[in-house]
């Protein structure tokens, strides 16, 4: 045991915290890593996967993005060398392996995702899934499941149904529940004259998609709300109130994305309240800079607050933690590694908080002591516990990690033209 860790362990013990217990819990909590950081949300539907049709956008043009499933898997494997703890892979439907053929979204099948499933099995990774409603001519006008065109709605309903079936098969193949997340970009740039009808249509479309019961052992569905997006500044059909109501009514999961609320609003405080009314939550941990910019997650206060709330609400088993950021302006391996490690590091800090002392002070209405403990906690040696954890998992830290990832950049990423 490194002496630095031993000192940290002793120091935490004085605050009533068992670092070994924290490490054990930390290691068991899965974090879902999103595939789409690896290629700027392009997917592999066509040889030249470019975002057409709108609904989502990544900015930056750092060289070396993955151009096919093989490259994406190689990049994920590289990132995994530096990411400790249970990791799942979160796949979007546009990342299927279509063998150079045009397979439209309503035609996708499990066979297009078998390669990913086998690979995840070999990597000991669980999987999560997402229907892709954006970047497609049939939703380019800003409407998919809530479109006023019945044919368009039906197309997207078929896609949603196909995705749930694929997810269930993935869940079965892996023996591990898949969380399928539904996010649509439907909305309007300017003030609508009718906010109600698209919401009624969305509710009806979702009912049709979720009509078939699927064992929760195989798949669980989640719906993701949003306040506004590019091109949907004035109106988003799937708002927070809409999906909160829909998830409560149907007892499915609700997705809280840290970039999807008012820019000064944080999702941490929503965890304990929403969990009173929905069975489970899915989190999209992201970092919005002034808006839903999807910057790479770092261990900042909002991320720490999210993890604290999961721990403090005893909700580790009811909150699924996924990442959702896509920065195309930096080496994408760094993006994954920084974001995944920051999320887990924040989780560790939450597990290392001197919670019993804080709660004792709170129970005694001694709020000065409570605040002092929270401030003190910021300076406790969590970094030494983190390093110990990483070294036990065989994951390099610091300058070694930096130089190794730079080598991959030179040898692999920069060679992609």
Cα separation of the two ends of the chain:
46
Beta bridge partners of 235: 188
Q: Kindly state whether residue 257 participates in binding ligand RNT, applying the rule CB under 6 A.
A: yes
Annotation says 104 is catalytic: no
Least separation, in Å, of the C-beta of 258 and ligand RNT? 9
- Residue 247 neighbours by CB distance under 10 Å: 23
* 69 within 8 A of 114, measured Cβ to Cβ: no
* 342 within 8 A of 299, measured Cβ to Cβ: yes
Question: Of the candidates 40, 45, 71, 257, which one interacts with Zn ion according to CB under 5 A?
Answer: 257
The interface partner of residue 36, options being ligand RNT, Zn ion, none and the CB cut-off 5 to 8 Å by kind, is ligand RNT
Q: Kindly state whether residue 284 participates in binding Zn ion, applying the rule CB under 5 A.
A: yes
The two structure tokens encoding residue 284: 């999209």
Cα torsion through 198, 199, 205, 207, rounded to 10: -160
The two structure tokens encoding residue 283: 């989190």
Q: Kindly state whether residue 186 participates in binding Zn ion, applying the rule CB under 5 A.
A: no
Q: Kindly state whether residue 327 participates in binding ligand RNT, applying the rule CB under 6 A.
A: no
The one segment of 35-43, 80-88, 283-291, 370-378 that binds Zn ion by CB under 5 A: 283-291
| From 9, 159, 260, 270, the catalytic residue | 260
Q: Kindly state whether residue 209 participates in binding ligand RNT, applying the rule CB under 6 A.
A: no
Q: Helix, strand, or coil here: 253? A: strand
Q: Kindly state whether residue 98 participates in binding ligand RNT, applying the rule CB under 6 A.
A: no
The one segment of 44-52, 84-92, 145-153, 318-326 that binds Zn ion by CB under 5 A: 318-326
Residues 6+ apart with CB under 8 A from 136: 52, 53, 105, 144
Contacts with Zn ion by CB under 5 A: the residue count is 3
Q: Kindly state whether residue 324 participates in binding Zn ion, applying the rule CB under 5 A.
A: yes
Q: What are phi and psi of 300, to 5 degrees?
A: -90, 180
Nearest in space to 230 (alpha carbons), one of 262, 189, 284:
189
Measured between alpha carbons, how far is 375 from 386 in angstroms, rounded to an integer?
Answer: 19
Question: Of the candidates 5, 183, 228, 334, which one interacts with ligand RNT according to CB under 6 A?
Answer: 183
The interface partner of residue 159, options being Zn ion, ligand RNT, none and the CB cut-off 5 to 8 Å by kind, is none
Least separation, in Å, of the C-beta of 79 and ligand RNT? 17
Annotation says 292 is catalytic: yes
Q: Helix, strand, or coil here: 193? A: coil
Annotation says 70 is catalytic: no
* 31 within 8 A of 321, measured Cβ to Cβ: yes
| Interacting residues with Zn ion (CB under 5 A) | 257, 284, 324
| Interacting residues with ligand RNT (CB under 6 A) | 36, 41, 56, 92, 130, 183, 224, 226, 229, 257, 284, 292, 324
Catalytic positions:
183, 224, 226, 257, 260, 284, 292, 294, 324
């Amino acid at each position: 045991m490194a002496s630095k860790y031993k000192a940290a362990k002793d120091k935490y013990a004085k605050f009533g915290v068992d670092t070994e217990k924290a490490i054990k819990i930390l290691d068991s909590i899965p974090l879902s890593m999103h595939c789409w950081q690896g290629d700027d949300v392009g997917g592999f539907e066509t040889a030249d996967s470019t975002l057409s049709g709108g609904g989502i956008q990544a900015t930056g043009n750092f060289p070396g993005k993955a151009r096919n499933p093989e490259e994406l898997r190689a990049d994920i494997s590289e990132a995994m060398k530096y990411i400790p703890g249970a990791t799942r892979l979160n796949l979007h439907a546009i990342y299927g392996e279509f063998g150079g053929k045009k397979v439209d979204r309503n035609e996708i099948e499990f066979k297009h995702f078998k390669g990913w499933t086998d690979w995840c099995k070999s990597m000991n990774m669980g999987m999560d899934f997402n229907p892709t409603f954006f970047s497609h001519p049939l939703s380019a006008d800003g409407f998919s499941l809530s479109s006023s065109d019945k044919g368009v709605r039906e197309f997207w309903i078929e896609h949603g149904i196909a995705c749930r079936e694929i997810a269930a098969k993935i869940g079965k193949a892996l023996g591990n529940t898949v969380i399928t997340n539904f996010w649509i970009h439907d909305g309007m740039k300017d003030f609508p004259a009718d906010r109600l009808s698209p919401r009624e249509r969305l509710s009806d479309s979702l009912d049709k998609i979720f009509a078939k019961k699927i064992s929760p052992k195989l798949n669980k569905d989640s719906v993701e709300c949003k306040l506004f997006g590019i091109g949907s500044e004035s109106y988003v059909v799937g708002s927070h109130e809409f999906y909160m109501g829909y998830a409560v009514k149907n007892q499915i999961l609700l997705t809280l994305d840290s970039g999807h609320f008012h820019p000064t609003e944080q999702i941490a405080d929503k965890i304990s309240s929403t969990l009173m009314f929905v069975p489970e939550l899915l989190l999209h941990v992201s970092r919005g800079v002034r808006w839903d910019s999807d910057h790479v997650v770092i261990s900042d206060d909002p991320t720490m607050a999210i993890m604290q709330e999961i721990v403090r609400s005893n909700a580790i088993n009811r909150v699924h933690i996924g990442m959702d950021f896509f920065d195309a302006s930096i080496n994408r391996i760094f993006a994954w590694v920084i974001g995944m490690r920051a999320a887990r590091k924040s989780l560790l800090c939450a597990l290392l908080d001197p919670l019993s002392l804080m709660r004792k002070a709170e129970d005694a209405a001694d709020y000065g002591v409570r605040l002092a403990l929270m401030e003190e906690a910021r300076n406790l040696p969590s970094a030494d516990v983190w390093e110990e954890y990483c070294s036990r998992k065989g994951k390099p830290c610091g300058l070694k990690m930096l130089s190794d990832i730079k080598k991959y950049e030179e040898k692999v990423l920069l060679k992609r033209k």
